[in-house]
Structure 1
Amino acid sequence: MSIDVNLDKATAQVRETGQNPAQRPTIAGFFDEATFTVSYVVHDAETSEAAIIDSVLDYDPASGSTGFGSADRIIEYITSNNLKVTWILETHAHADHLSAAPYLQEKLGGKLAIGADIVRVQEVFGKMFNAGTDFERDGSQFDHLFTDGETFRIGKLEAIALHVPGHTPADMAYLIGDAAFVGDTIFMPDYGTARADFPGGDARQLFHSIRRLLRLPRETRLFLCHDYKAPGRDEYAWETTVGQERDHNVHVRDGVTEDEFVAMRTTRDRTLAMPNLIMPSVQVNMRGGHLPEPEDNGVSYIKIPVNAVRRPA
C-alpha cells in the first residue's frame, strides 16, 4: 500500500486527541427530516470558536419559497452558547438540499469553505443549467477552497481537510480532533454508502475514498450528513465509528472487494430516482448557497432542464 502522508497526519491527530481529551470537539447535530440531512455545529470548549457544517435552507418546491427555520435553530444554539463562528463548511455541493450558508454568514460571520474541486462541479453543472458567462466557474463564490491534507483550526482544535471524491468530484471530509464529518461518502453501517451516478461521480473512486477513511483508527468518530432509517431500524442515527463501519457496513465492510463494491453500487444506482430537490439544490449550492441573480423583474428563477438528466431504468 502506498504511503498516504495526509492520512498519516490525520491518524496522528486522532491518536493525539485520544491522549488529550481537551482536544475533543463539542458537537451538536441538527436533523432536518424533510431532507434527511444532519447539520452540525462543532466548537472548541476553551475558546468557544465554532464551525457550522452542511447547513440547510428550507425550500418548498411547490411554491418556490425559501425559509430559515432550520438555520434559525442553529443560530439559536450558537447565540445561547455564546459561540463565535469562524468557519462555515460544506462537504460538497449537495443535490438534496439548499445550503443556508449565506444567511448564516450574514448573521454570524465566518469563512465559507468547500473543496477545491468545486470548480469541476461548477463547470459540469454550469453547462447543464446554461448558467452563462456571468457565472464564475473558479470557486470565487467561496471564501476558501481546501486542498487534500490542508490543516486549519477552530480555536485550539486541530482540523484536517481530506479529499474523498466519488459521490461527487469535490467531496471533502473534515477531521476535527477525533471526529470526521464525512458528508455523503458513507452512511450508517446498516444503510451502506452514497450513490455515485451524479455527473462527475465514480463508484470505483468512491470505494477508494471510503477505504481511505476506514484506515483511520477504529475509534475515530464518524458524523454523517444523512440518515434514512435502514429497514428494521425505527430511529434516525448519524454517528458511528470507523470500527463499526469496517465490521458491519452492508456495502463496504472489510472483505468486500473493489470490483464487488463497484458492481453493487452501479447496479443499485441504476434503480435510484434523482433527489427531489436536485435541480434547485445544485443551482444554488454551486453558487455558494446564493440564488441565481434576479432577472429584470427582481425575481430569481430556478431552471429545470428538460430531458437532460436520466431517469432510472
Structure 2
Amino acid sequence: MTDSTLIHATEQISRAQQQLPVIKAFFDQPTYTVTYVVHDKKTKCAAIIDSVFDFDPASGRTSFDSADEVIAYVKEQDLTVQWLLETHAHADHLSAAPYLQEKLGGKIAIGEHIVTVQDVFGKLFNAGTDFQRDGSDFDRLFADGDTFKIGDLDVTVMHVPGHTPADIAYVIGDAVFVGDTMFMPDYGTARADFPGGDARKLYQSMRRLLSLPDTTRLFMCHDYLPAGRTEYVWETTVAEQRKNNIHAHDGVTEDEFVKMRTERDKTLDMPRLILPSVQVNMRAGHLPPEEDNGVRYLKVPLNGV
C-alpha cells in the first residue's frame, strides 16, 4: 500500500531548501516542554506549536509568564500569527492557545482524532452535556495528509498515533515537529500506556517519521536530562535517530520495541499534571466553565485513572 502522505512530505522536504522556516524555541523547565514559534522569513507569517499555560497544582494558581515570553518575541519580530498548533492533548502541561489567540490571533488546530480523547476523558471527568465531544472547541481539525500554509511555507500533517490516538506531527519546510512520538536519541521514546495508547502503533508511527530523508530536522516536544548529559536539547535529525535512538534505532524490531515499551511503562508514575492538563487540553486550552459561585474547578476522579 502506497503511503501518499509520506511521499508528499518527502517531496516537500526536498523542495524546502528554498523556503527554510525560521524556528525559535522556548523551553519550560517545570514541565520540560518546548514551545516553538515557526515563521516564514519572507511573509513574516507564523505558527506557535505546543504552548504552555503555567499552573501550580499545590495552590491552584495560574499565570501566563511562559506565554508572555512567546508574545514578546512575536511582537519584537513583527510576526503575524496564523496558527496555534497542538501536536496532541498533552498530559504534562496545560495549553495557552486561547490566551495566545486573544493576544495575537490565529486558528487553534489539532488532529481530528481528538474526538476520541474527548469522549474518553469527557466520561472520566463527568464533563456533562455542555462539553461538546465533536472537536468544535478547536478551529480546525487535521487529518493525515492534510496540507496548509504558514505564509509561503508548505505544511503537511502526519497522523502518528501510539502515545495517544490523536497525535500528529507537522512537517514544515524541512523540519518536523514530532510531538511525543520520540525524544532525543539518548532518552528514547514516549510512553504508550495512556487511554487509547498503543506501543505497536507508536513503533509504526516512528518508523514512518524515520522514513523521511536523513537530513530532515526533528524537533522534540520535550527534553529530559538522562545520565551523562547536563544541557537540555531538542533538535536532532532522522539520521541521528535511526542510528542512536536507544529504544528505536535501526535494527530494533517491532516486537522487541513493544516488549520494551510495555515493560517500561508499567514502572512509570503518572505525569504530575495529567489530571488538570487533560481537562483543559481536551477543551482546546479553555478552562472548565464557572460554577454558580463564579469559580472554576478542576476535578480529581478518585481511583479513576
Range class of TM-score, shorter chain = over 0.9
Output the CA distance in 2 between the equivalents of 1:231 and 1:191: 9
Residue of structure 1 equivalent to 2:264: 268
Output the CA distance in 2 between the equivalents of 1:269 and 1:160: 31
Counterpart residue identity of residue 55, structure 2: Y
Q: Does the residue aligned with 1:299 lie in a helix, a strand or coil?
A: coil
Residue of structure 2 equivalent to 1:14: 13
Report the CA distance between 1:230 and its aligned residue. Answer: 1.5
Output the CA distance in 1 between the equivalents of 2:256 and 2:169: 24
Report the CA distance between 1:99 and its aligned residue. Answer: 0.2
Report the CA distance between 1:55 and its aligned residue. Answer: 0.1
Paired residue for 1:249, among 231, 237, 245?
245
Output the CA distance in 1 between the equivalents of 2:200 and 2:245: 17
Paired residue for 2:166, among 160, 166, 170?
170
Matched, 1:112 2:108: yes
- 1:230-249 equivalent positions in 2, closer than 5 A: 230-249=226-245
CA deviation string 1:273-298 (max 9, x = no partner): 00000000000000000000000011
Matched, 1:38 2:34: yes
CA deviation string 1:152-183 (max 9, x = no partner): 00000000011000000000000000000000
Counterpart residue identity of residue 89, structure 2: A
Residue of structure 1 equivalent to 2:148: 152
Report the CA distance between 1:93 and its aligned residue. Answer: 0.2
Output the CA distance in 2 between the equivalents of 1:299 and 1:99: 20
Give 4+ residue runs of structure 1 displaced > 4 Å after superposition. none
- Percent identity between the two aligned chains: 68
| Two-structure CA RMSD over aligned residues (Å) | 0.5
Counterpart residue identity of residue 3, structure 1: T
Matched, 1:290 2:286: yes
Residue of structure 2 equivalent to 1:89: 85
Q: Does the residue aligned with 1:291 lie in a helix, a strand or coil?
A: coil
Paired residue for 1:189, among 167, 185, 189?
185
Q: Does the residue aligned with 2:38 lie in a helix, a strand or coil?
A: strand
Counterpart residue identity of residue 4, structure 1: D
Q: Does the residue aligned with 1:41 lie in a helix, a strand or coil?
A: strand
Pairs aligned (count) = 305
Report the CA distance between 1:231 and its aligned residue. Answer: 1.2
Paired residue for 1:209, among 165, 180, 205?
205
Q: Does the residue aligned with 1:153 lie in a helix, a strand or coil?
A: strand
What stretches of structure 2 of length at least 5 have no aligned partner? none
Q: TM-score if structure 1 supplies the norm length?
A: 0.97
Report the CA distance between 1:246 and its aligned residue. Answer: 0.3
Residue of structure 2 equivalent to 1:303: 299
